[in-house]
Chain A
Amino acid sequence: MKSAPLHPHEVDRLAALKRLQILDSPPEKDFDDITLIAAQICDTPIALVSLIDQSRQWFKSKKGLTAEQTPREFAFCAHAILGSEPLIISDATKDDRFADNPLVTGDPKVTFYAGAPLLSPDGYPIGTLCVIDRKPRTLSATQTSALQALSTQVSRLLQLRVQLDQQKEHAKQLEFKKTAIENLSEGVVLQGTDFRIVEFNAAALEVLGLTADQMTGKSSMDPAWRTIRADGSPFPGQEHPAVLALLTGKAQRQVTMGVHRPNSELRWIEINSTPIFGPDRSKPLWAVTSFRDITETRNAKLTLEKTETNHRQVLNAIPSMIAHWSRDLTNLGTNNACDAYFGKPPSQIRGRSLSDLLGEETFKRNLPYIEKVLRGEPQVFERTLPTKHGAGLPVMVNYSPEIQNGAVTGFIAIVTDISEIKKLEYERQMMAAKLVESAKMSTLGEMAGGVAHEINTPLAVIITKTSMLLEDLQNGTAKLADVTLQLEKIGITAERIAKIVKGMRQFSRNSTTDPKEPISISAVTDSTLNLCHEKLMQAQIKVIREIDENLSVSARFTEISQVLMNLISNATDAIEPLSEKWIKISARKQGTKVIVTVTDSGHGIAHNIWDKIMNPFFTTKELGRGTGLGLSISKGIVESHDGKIYYDEKSANTRFVVELPIEGAQ
């Protein structure tokens, strides 16, 4: 047996066969009709449309045969495709090419074979139309030419089949494009060289607010469009993208245009226009223009831009420095005050690291706060910022975490200049100190006002005695013993004056910075009472003194005296109109405390002002009397001595209690 050699252009021939896309396709009536006709004309039991693949022959149509395919090496048709004329084998059993071919020796017992080649549209023999009989025979000339004609028809069928597929594909693509254009949300129009619209889709009508009749034939030059540019200036028809595309042959991209609908509603559209050239490629014949309605996005964008501008202006109007930092501590934005502090434009701040901008030293000091804010805890602290000139800037720093979807993504730092506040605070402290001082002097004036006059009595004694002594001496009536006695009395009286003056001086000096010293409660009480003596006496107030003599506290003498005088002064004012007038001062030890009480013959303080009496400027005295600061200052003093001062609401008489830690007790 001799297998057929391969076709000289086997590779191209196989490629041509593949292009027909027929191998292993289902049977088709067109082909089966031809094999039926071929078998009838040639009077054979078998007729086939056989296609020669790389290693097989496959039957597109088979009359009188059941096999789908056979190996190529046994294929008669593989021989037939090598010539242009039909191959006719009258008796294969007597042909040494086929005598031992299994298709001859076994089923289907091929004896007679006549096959006409089939040509692909590009001329390659891809198979045959063949007729087969199981006995030796021949074909008449008529039968042969009919077989040839039929094989040509098969070739035509194959070609038509491909064309039909291509047409289907083309139709599908057309349908796709048509549907796609019709369903686009973008408007699409086609214009000719007269700039009139000849084709358009539904979206074009919708976007422009036109009916199909209004749209058809409308020109870009129609002034009714009332088109404007993004900046609001007129957009003349001769500069419309479609017109430019048609005139210049260049595609126009992303042109923004405002167009008025017939109802005068302004819509913003973004336009692309592409020219379509004629066969000579020299001049555009058409322009395809697509556009989408960007009114909403444009408005949203404008609103957003406006909002952003507003926010920025608000941020820039804030005198505090504001900076936005990402989690990895790079800058995301700043306000003007912050830019001014860094001395750089925002472009040189954004994207830079916090440590870089702040300097390593300040950064390290702030790091503990940064770590906390990045854990989501807001931070507030004070800091003195280094400045190029001067002694630094006192600031209040505020870190607020930026939280998105529950995670800290960065933080906002607000740094506020508090130098003015600091200055005011200092001034306020100074004022407060002065006020405390003047309140003290006011109490002194009230209580010890009699003191100056009290001095007048001993002065009268001294002056009168001196005058009488002098007279005795001048008259020579002086007796030594008497002079001595009178001088002694003058001395004692002068010391009385000295003691009063000393007490006043001690009380009135500014003592707030004195160190605390061990002081005797008894001594401070006496000193205070001395100053008040005249006033109490004039008011006919009896003083009861119940002091444990050995008590001492670590304190500033003058301040404790001030507290006592304030309590005595208040008591004096309160009980002066009463018929029963007494003030009792007691001091005793209780544990590690000294309890000093000042009780008067009054009957307590009205219930509704208990909680107010320690407040600054609260006073029950008439206008012009009392500063209203006495008790609040006393409270401050006692608390600075780690003690307590309070109104004893359980006492039947008006009683204030001062508790001080005993000297040496901690």
Chain B
Amino acid sequence: MKTFSGRKVLVVDDDEMLREVLSDMFKGQGAEVQKAENGVDAFALVQKEHFDVVFSDVRMPGGDGITLAKQIAEHEGHKPLVFFCSGFNDVTREAALRYNVLKIYEKPFERKKVIEEIASHLSQVPLGRR
């Protein structure tokens, strides 16, 4: 059984190619993957569907990652685990942690480490709540 079997991941990045790569990466671990190209679109999806993980870029035109994390932290419904994947090293970690962002990965990230760590966090979350 694959690590991410039965898990639902939302990939958020303005770069189409990276969205596709991340999607392939999580699918390869057995996850079901949805994609969004900015924070606004992503939050709309989070409100509609149950995601276990949101893996999001920070800086994006039309809705950044920090806002997305804040919205998730403050909304009434299910709160997926939020991870950041940043092209910049100037992300305000303080803000990220305030909104329960579990980890910030810097591009280019190490695929196996990302998978392992997210999987480790996921192991503490029971399956199947929709």
Contact = CB atoms under 8 A, between A and B. Distances in A.
Contacts of B85: 460
Contacts of B59: 537-538
Contacts of A540: 61-62
Given A463-B111, A464-B108, 19 more contacts: A453-B107, A454-B87, A456-B107, A456-B108, A457-B15, A457-B87, A460-B87, A460-B107, A460-B108, A462-B108, A463-B108, A464-B21, A467-B112, A468-B24, A468-B28, A493-B17, A537-B61, A538-B61, A540-B61
B49 interface: no
B34 to A, nearest CB: 18
A468 B25 contact: yes
Contacts of A461: 15, 17-18, 21
User: Chain A's interface: helix, strand, loop or mixed, by majority?
Assistant: helix
Considering residues A461, A467, A493, A537, which has the most beta carbons from chain B within 10 angstroms of its beta carbon? Answer: A461
Interface string A436-466: 0000000000000010011011111111110
A489 interface: yes
B106 interface: yes
A461 B14 CA distance: 13
A465 B108 contact: no
Contacts of A450: 88
Contact of A456 (B14, B22, B87, B112): B87
B72 to A, nearest CB: 21
Interface in A262-282: none
A460 B18 contact: yes
Interface in B87-123: 87-89, 106-109, 111-112
A465 B108 CA distance: 11
B18 A453 contact: no
Contact of B17 (A454, A456, A458): A458
Interface in B3-35: 13-15, 17-18, 21-22, 24-25, 28
Contacts of A463: 108-109, 111
Contact of A464 (B87, B106, B111): B111
Given A453-B88, A468-B24, A538-B59, A489 B17 contact: yes
A459 B111 contact: no
Interface of B: 13-15, 17-18, 21-22, 24-25, 28, 59, 61-62, 85, 87-89, 106-109, 111-112
A458 B59 CA distance: 15
Contact of A457 (B25, B61, B107, B112): B107
Contacts, number: 58
Nearest to B13: A457
Contacts of B112: 467
Contacts of B109: 460, 463-464
B18 A457 contact: yes
Contacts of B15: 457-458, 461
The 6 closest A-B pairs by CB, nearest first: A456-B107, A460-B108, A459-B108, A460-B107, A456-B87, A463-B108
B111 A453 contact: no
Interface in A646-660: none
A489 to B, nearest CB: 7
Contacts of B28: 468
Interface in A214-267: none
Contacts of A493: 17
Contacts of A457: 13, 15, 18, 87, 107
Contacts of B24: 465, 468
Contacts of A467: 111-112
Nearest to A471: B28
Considering residues B61, B85, B112, which has the most beta carbons from chain A within 10 angstroms of its beta carbon? Answer: B61
Contacts of A458: 15, 17-18
A459 to B, nearest CB: 4
B39 to A, nearest CB: 12
